[in-house]
Amino acid sequence: MNVFDALTPLAARRLRTSVVSPFAQAYWDRLNDQGYARSTVRLYLNCLAHFAHWTSRQQVNLSALDRHIQRFVDWHLPRCRCGPSVQRRRPSMRAALGHFKIVVTDAGVLRDTEPLSQVDEQLLRFDRYLFQMKGLAASTRRRRLPCWPPKLLHLWPPQIPPPDRGLIAA
Ligand SMILES: [Zn+2]
């Protein structure tokens, strides 16, 4: 079956006119080969179509796919105004885009592993300090660090251990 026939005309158009398009058939094949239920395949395809729609309005480089997905999930989804028909649930979106990352990688697209600059590392250290020593929540820290660079969005919120409550109270 052609992947574009499995979608509504709007979702198929969004998928077909994006950087995601060359991988769409392999994506659909992968999900079916792995035995996913038809409803799950349709759900994930609609998630991918939403991501595809978003990429058409961004400068998306597939070698930096991790960062783009993180930005889409953490920044776009909470503010999404793409219309009532798009998928917005984060768990489904993360699962769907996880499969997409595998398809893109299997196709030979190399992922960007750009090293962090000194400023980036200082921002990460400062954020860790605000979290571990001051006990600030991620939403508060994000407001306090509006200069958080887009290339670090994949690190947000940073994967750091929870604060030691005894240390903070001292
Ligand atoms: Zn949207």
As a whole number, the mean pLDDT across the chain is 80
Q: How confident is the model at residue 164 (pLDDT cuts 50, 70, 90)?
A: very low
- Does pTM surpass 0.85? no
pLDDT for res 169: 44
Q: State in Å: Cα 47 to ligand 1 middle.
A: 10
Q: State in Å: Cα 54 to ligand 1 middle.
A: 6
Q: State in Å: Cα 113 to ligand 1 middle.
A: 27
- Which tens digits make up the pLDDT trace of 99-139? 999 998 888 776 665 566 777 777 777 877 887 788 877 77
Q: State in Å: Cα 4 to ligand 1 middle.
A: 20
Q: State in Å: Cα 34 to ligand 1 middle.
A: 28
Average pLDDT of the residues in 28-52: 94
Give phi and psi for 162, each to the nearest 5: -65, 155
| Whether residue 39 has pLDDT greater than 90 | yes
Q: State in Å: Cα 80 to ligand 1 middle.
A: 4
| 76 or 130, which is more confident | 76
| 78 or 117, which is more confident | 78
3-state secondary structure of 133: coil
Q: State in Å: Cα 164 to ligand 1 middle.
A: 37
pLDDT for res 132: 77
Q: State in Å: Cα 70 to ligand 1 middle.
A: 14
Residue 25 burial (CB count, 10 A): 14
| Whether residue 161 has pLDDT greater than 60 | no
For helices 21-33 and 38-55, the axis angle rounded to 10 degrees is: 160
Compute the Cα dihedral for 20, 24, 26, 28 and give only its sign.
positive
| Whether residue 12 has pLDDT greater than 50 | yes
